[in-house]
């Protein structure tokens, strides 16, 4: 296996034909993708698609059959220590030595990595809001507190890449929101790249700038989420609830640049596509014609719907 | 190197921060307290000095047997507890090679075993001094030191074996069970098979080096050097298997 040079220096994680075979069966099959600095990328797939196996291979917990994983240009396979020093991770639940305090647990990981100061421990515990609970034994922690301590240990050595497998598992809605805020903040403020898997698709949608969908160990699609296009020029899919659908449709058909107008005279709902800056004009025209408008909504395909389409809905667990 | 010291400190803290850490030492203290009192009451024949008492009690056939048992209990947990707690995932995603991590675990286990041996020796001398107040008897300090060395060797051999079983099985209970069972059954097996010369190559025929002080050699033709070589071969085997398996294993 030759180590290809990374051309783009902002690439933090590079998977190159990553393959894991167990007993002749490919669990992960020729997976390749890159993650750049500051990107938050979601790894999606039905249960058994190979998400956890992929993440465990990235951090070297599981050996790879073929291919390579490079972190900041260093191969996890041939120069493990140089590569892994840039990675912080939580693989499945964050587990600690229950009979030690949170502080003693963090000290364990401080001693394992050169250059982690006591000030850094204080900094990360403050970031995750654990400074008051640090003296307590971990066995007395709630799951939410363990998750925060897990994030703290992952950030301790100032990694360039975070690998998070189901980081919101077992958290309550407030905890999930908080976790999401941390992760976004970390990615923006410190420029850390994050690869995150979760079965909560709406979470991924709120957190990530890009998703990678895998199924049966193979890459299905890579898709950017929102933000990329300028919103003014963006073509929106709009659904409108009006008093008289037939009349409204006539008005809409007279206007230029509005596509695929459909009406349902029974529910008085019309759907069409147009650019955002056309909306005020349309509303004014409709009002001038005396069409009552009850509701204007954007119709968005959710990540979930798309995910179902891509992976075949019945396979989702 | 500074990093490796950190790993050793970590492993020692994982042992010593447990509440059960002091239990092992407390058990030894209680046992020697009871033995001292019993000897004081009964006044057995042939034991007339502190050195006699200390040399006799730390033998594997006496209170000394506790040391390898306590050491095996700890050695079984060294790797298996990391699996049980799930901390193995955090442990192995640091900028440390698996070999270094395992080496730190093994070294700390050997150090812990030696603290048990030395505690036992100190307790034996202390209890013996309280009961006999010095005195003169058959045993010499050389005998005593010889028994300490035998106890240490015996314990470390079984610690090494249990350490390997822990890595292979990932189960604390299984490792303790196999470790202690082989300690008990091993010498029995050697006795049963003692008429075959091949038995002398068995690990269990060579673990107790104190036999060479009393000429009660288990099988004809065995010498101290022979046993030491056999033990070294077995230790090398156990450690090679441990390191090879730990390095390769997928943490699923």
Beta carbons of B39 and B131 less than 8 angstroms apart: yes
Is residue A171 left, alpha or beta, with left meaning phi > 0 and alpha meaning psi from -120 to 50?
beta
State CA B172 to chain mean position distance.
17
Q: Find the CATH number of the domain harbouring A111.
A: 3.40.50.300
- On average, the pLDDT of chain A sits at 85
Give per-residue pLDDT as tens, B125-158: 999 999 888 777 788 889 999 999 999 999 999 9
Please list, in sequence order, all residues whose beta carbon lies within 8 angstroms of the beta carbon of residue A11, skipping any fewer than 6 positions away: A34, A35, A36, A37
Closest CA relative to residue B123, chosen from B70, B78, B76, B176? B70
Q: Do B10 and A112 touch (CB under 8 A)?
A: yes
Q: Which residues of A touch B90 (CB under 8 A)?
A: 94-96, 109, 153
Q: Do B250 and A62 touch (CB under 8 A)?
A: yes
Q: Which residues of B touch A82 (CB under 8 A)?
A: 95
Residues A208 and A241 in one domain: no
Give per-residue pLDDT as tens, B184-194: 998 899 889 88
Q: Which residues of A touch B93 (CB under 8 A)?
A: 59-61, 84, 87, 89, 91
Using CA atoms, how far apart are residues B146 and B209, in angstroms rounded to an integer? 9
Q: Which of A82, A98, A153 lies closest to B85 in CB terms?
A: A98
Q: Which residues of A touch B95 (CB under 8 A)?
A: 81-82, 84-85, 112-114, 157
- Tell me phi and psi for residue A239, to 5 degrees: -120, 135
Q: Which of A22-31, A247-256, A270-279, B39-48 has the highest mean pLDDT?
A: A22-31
Residue at A1 is within a domain: no
Helical H segments across chain A, by residue range: 51-58, 80-84, 102-112, 118-127, 143-155, 173-190, 201-207, 245-254, 279-288, 303-311
Q: Do B97 and A111 touch (CB under 8 A)?
A: no
Residues A199 and A240 in one domain: no
Q: Do A61 and B17 touch (CB under 8 A)?
A: no
Residues A181 and A126 in one domain: yes
Using CA atoms, how far apart are residues A16 and B75, in angstroms rounded to an integer? 40
> What pLDDT does A100 receive?
96
3-state secondary structure of A258: coil
> What pLDDT does B74 receive?
95
DSSP state for residue A256 in the 8-state scheme: T
Q: Do B95 and A113 touch (CB under 8 A)?
A: yes
Q: Do A99 and B92 touch (CB under 8 A)?
A: no
Residues A190 and A149 in one domain: yes
Q: Do A61 and B250 touch (CB under 8 A)?
A: yes
Name the domain boundary from A171, A204, A224: A224
Using CA atoms, how far apart are residues A135 and A122, in angstroms rounded to an integer? 12
Give per-residue pLDDT as tens, B54-111: 998 999 888 889 999 999 999 999 999 999 999 999 999 999 999 999 999 999 999 9
Chain B residues near any Cβ of chain A (below 8 Å): 2-3, 6-7, 9-10, 13-14, 17-19, 85-87, 89-97, 248, 250-252
Residue at A184 is within a domain: yes
Give per-residue pLDDT as tens, A284-315: 888 888 888 898 888 777 777 777 777 765 54
Give per-residue pLDDT as tens, A51-109: 999 999 999 999 999 999 999 999 999 999 999 999 999 888 889 999 999 999 999 99
Is the pLDDT confidence value at A4 over 70?
no
Name the domain boundary from A197, A224, A251: A224
Residues A208 and A259 in one domain: no
> What pLDDT does A255 receive?
79
Is the pLDDT confidence value at A212 over 50?
yes
Name the domain boundary from A202, A224, A246: A224
* Alpha carbon of B17: minimum distance to chain A alpha carbons (Å): 7
Q: What average pLDDT score do residues A5-29 get?
A: 85
> What pLDDT does A1 receive?
41
Nearest CA in chain A to B1: A114
3-state secondary structure of A113: coil
Residues A242 and A178 in one domain: no
Using CA atoms, how far apart are residues B52 and B44, in angstroms rounded to an integer? 11
Residues A103 and A246 in one domain: no
Q: What average pLDDT score do residues A257-274 get?
A: 79
Residues A49 and A188 in one domain: yes
> What pLDDT does A103 receive?
96
Token output for B53: 């008492």
Q: Do B90 and A109 touch (CB under 8 A)?
A: yes
Q: What average pLDDT score do residues A225-240 get?
A: 67
Residue at A100 is within a domain: yes
Give per-residue pLDDT as tens, B7-61: 999 999 999 999 889 999 999 999 999 999 998 888 777 778 889 899 989 998 8
A/B interface, count of CB pairs below 8 Å = 79
> What pLDDT does A233 receive?
63
Give per-residue pLDDT as tens, A101-157: 999 999 999 999 988 999 999 999 988 888 899 999 999 998 888 988 998 999 999
Q: Which residues of B touch A98 (CB under 8 A)?
A: 85
Sign of CA dihedral B166, B169, B175, B178: negative
> What pLDDT does A316 receive?
44
Residues A138 and A184 in one domain: yes
Residues A118 and A18 in one domain: yes
- Angle (CA) B178-B182-B184 rounded to 5° is 120
Using CA atoms, how far apart are residues A80 and A155, in angstroms rounded to an integer? 19
> What pLDDT does A184 receive?
84
Q: How many CB atoms lie within 10 A of CB A117?
A: 9
Residue at A2 is within a domain: no
> What pLDDT does A247 receive?
84
> What pLDDT does B214 receive?
78
Beta carbons of A62 and B251 less than 8 angstroms apart: yes
> What pLDDT does A228 receive?
47
> What pLDDT does A227 receive?
52
Q: Do B92 and A60 touch (CB under 8 A)?
A: yes
Instruction: Report the residue of B7, B9, B93 to disrupt the A interface, i.e. the one with the largest count of A CBs within 10 Å.
Output: B93
| Number of structural domains chain A divides into | 2
Pairing of strands A40-44, A66-71: unpaired
Q: Do A104 and B17 touch (CB under 8 A)?
A: yes
Residue at A307 is within a domain: no
Residue at A311 is within a domain: no
* Alpha carbon of B101: minimum distance to chain A alpha carbons (Å): 9
3-state secondary structure of A235: strand
Residues A168 and A272 in one domain: no
Q: Do B252 and A56 touch (CB under 8 A)?
A: yes
Q: Find the CATH number of the domain harbouring A250.
A: 3.30.70.100
Q: Which of B3, B13, B252 lies closest to A114 in CB terms?
A: B3
Give per-residue pLDDT as tens, B202-242: 999 899 998 888 777 878 788 899 999 999 999 999 999 99
Residue at A215 is within a domain: yes
Residue at A132 is within a domain: yes
* Alpha carbon of A16: minimum distance to chain B alpha carbons (Å): 20
> What pLDDT does A317 receive?
42
Pairing of strands A193-197, A161-165: parallel
Residues A46 and A183 in one domain: yes
Is the pLDDT confidence value at A231 over 70?
no
Is the pLDDT confidence value at A2 over 60?
no
Closest CA relative to residue B68, chosen from B146, B162, B171? B162
Beta carbons of A270 and A264 less than 8 angstroms apart: yes
3-state secondary structure of A310: helix
Q: Do A114 and B93 touch (CB under 8 A)?
A: no
- On average, the pLDDT of chain B sits at 92
Beta carbons of A155 and A126 less than 8 angstroms apart: no
Instruction: Report the residue of B5, B18, B82, B95 to disrupt the A interface, i.e. the one with the largest count of A CBs within 10 Å.
Output: B95
Q: What average pLDDT score do residues A178-200 get?
A: 85
DSSP of chain B: -HHHHHHHHHHHHHHHTSTTHHHHHHHHHHHHHHHHHHHHHH--TT--SHHHHHHHHTSTTTGGGHHHHHHHHHHHHHHHHHHHHTTHHHHTTSSS-HHHHHHHHHHHHHHHHHHHHHHHHHHHHHHHHHHH-S---S--HHHHHHHHHHHHHHHHHHHHHHHHHHHHH--HHHHHHHHHHHHHHHHHHHHHTTTSGGGGGSGGGTS-TTHHHHT--SSTT--HHHHHHHHHHHHHHHHHHHHHHHHH----
- pLDDT band of residue A226 (cuts 50, 70, 90) is low
Q: Which residues of A touch B18 (CB under 8 A)?
A: 99
3-state secondary structure of A199: coil
Q: Which residues of A touch B4 (CB under 8 A)?
A: none
* Alpha carbon of B14: minimum distance to chain A alpha carbons (Å): 8
> What pLDDT does A3 receive?
46
Q: Do B17 and A99 touch (CB under 8 A)?
A: yes
Q: What domain range includes position A156?
A: 11-224
Is the pLDDT confidence value at A195 over 50?
yes
Q: Which residues of B touch A99 (CB under 8 A)?
A: 17-19
Q: Which residues of A touch B19 (CB under 8 A)?
A: 99
């Amino acid at each position: 296996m030759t180590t290809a040079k990374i051309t783009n220096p902002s690439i933090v994680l590079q998977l190159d034909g990553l393959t894991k075979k167990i007993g002749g069966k490919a669990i992960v099959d020729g997976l390749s993708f890159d993650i750049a600095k500051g990107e938050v990328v979601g790894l999606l797939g039905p249960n058994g698609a190979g998400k956890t196996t992929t993440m465990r291979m990235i951090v070297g917990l599981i050996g790879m059959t073929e291919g390579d994983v490079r972190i900041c240009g260093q191969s996890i396979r041939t120069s493990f220590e140089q590569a892994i020093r840039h990675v912080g991770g939580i693989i499945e639940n964050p587990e600690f030595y229950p009979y030690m305090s949170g502080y003693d647990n963090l000290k364990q990981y401080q001693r394992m990595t050169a250059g982690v100061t006591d000030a850094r421990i204080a900094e990360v515990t403050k970031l995750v809001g654990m400074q008051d609970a640090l003296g307590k034994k971990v066995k007395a922690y709630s799951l939410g507190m363990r998750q925060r301590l897990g994030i703290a240990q992952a950030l301790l050595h100032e990694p360039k890449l975070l690998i998070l497998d189901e980081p919101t598992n077992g958290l309550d809605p407030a905890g999930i929101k908080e976790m999401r805020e941390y992760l976004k903040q970390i990615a923006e403020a410190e420029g850390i790249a994050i690869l995150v898997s979760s079965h909560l698709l709406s979470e991924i949608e709120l957190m990530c700038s890009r998703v990678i969908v895998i199924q049966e160990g193979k890459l299905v699609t890579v898709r950017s989420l929102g933000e990329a296009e300028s919103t003014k020029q963006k073509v929106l899919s709009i659904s409108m609830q009006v008093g008289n659908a037939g009349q409204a449709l006539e008005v809409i058909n007279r206007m230029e640049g509005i596509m695929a107008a459909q009406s349902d005279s029974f529910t008085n709902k019309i759907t069409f596509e147009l650019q955002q800056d056309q909306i005020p004009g349309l509303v004014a025209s409709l009002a001038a014609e005396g069409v009552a408008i009850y509701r204007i909504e954007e119709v968005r395909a959710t990540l979930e719907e798309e995910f179902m389409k891509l992976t075949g809905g019945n396979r989702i667990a | 190197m500074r990093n490796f010291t950190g790993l050793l400190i970590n492993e020692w803290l994982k042992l010593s921060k447990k509440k059960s850490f002091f239990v092992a030492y407390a058990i030894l203290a209680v046992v020697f307290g009871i033995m001292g009192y019993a000897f004081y009451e009964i006044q057995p024949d042939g034991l007339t000095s502190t050195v006699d008492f200390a040399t006799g009690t730390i033998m594997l056939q006496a209170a000394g047997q506790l040391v390898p048992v306590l050491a095996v209990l700890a050695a079984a947990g060294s790797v298996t507890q990391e699996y049980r707690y799930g901390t193995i995932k955090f442990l192995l995603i640091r900028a440390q090679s698996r070999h270094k991590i395992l080496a730190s675990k093994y070294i700390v286990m050997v150090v812990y075993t030696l603290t048990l041996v030395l505690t036992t020796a100190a307790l034996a001398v202390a209890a013996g001094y309280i009961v006999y107040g010095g005195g003169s008897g058959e045993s010499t300090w050389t005998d005593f030191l010889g028994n300490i060395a035998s106890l240490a060797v015996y314990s470390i051999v079984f610690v090494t074996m249990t350490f390997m079983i822990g890595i292979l099985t990932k189960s604390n209970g299984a490792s303790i069970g196999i470790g202690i069972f082989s300690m008990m059954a091993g010498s029995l097996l050697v006795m049963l098979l003692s008429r075959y010369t091949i038995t002398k190559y068995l690990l269990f025929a060579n673990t107790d080096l104190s036999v060479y002080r009393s000429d009660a050699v288990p099988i004809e033709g065995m010498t101290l050097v022979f046993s030491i070589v056999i033990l070294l071969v077995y230790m090398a085997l156990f450690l090679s298997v441990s390191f090879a398996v730990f390095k390769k294993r997928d943490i699923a």
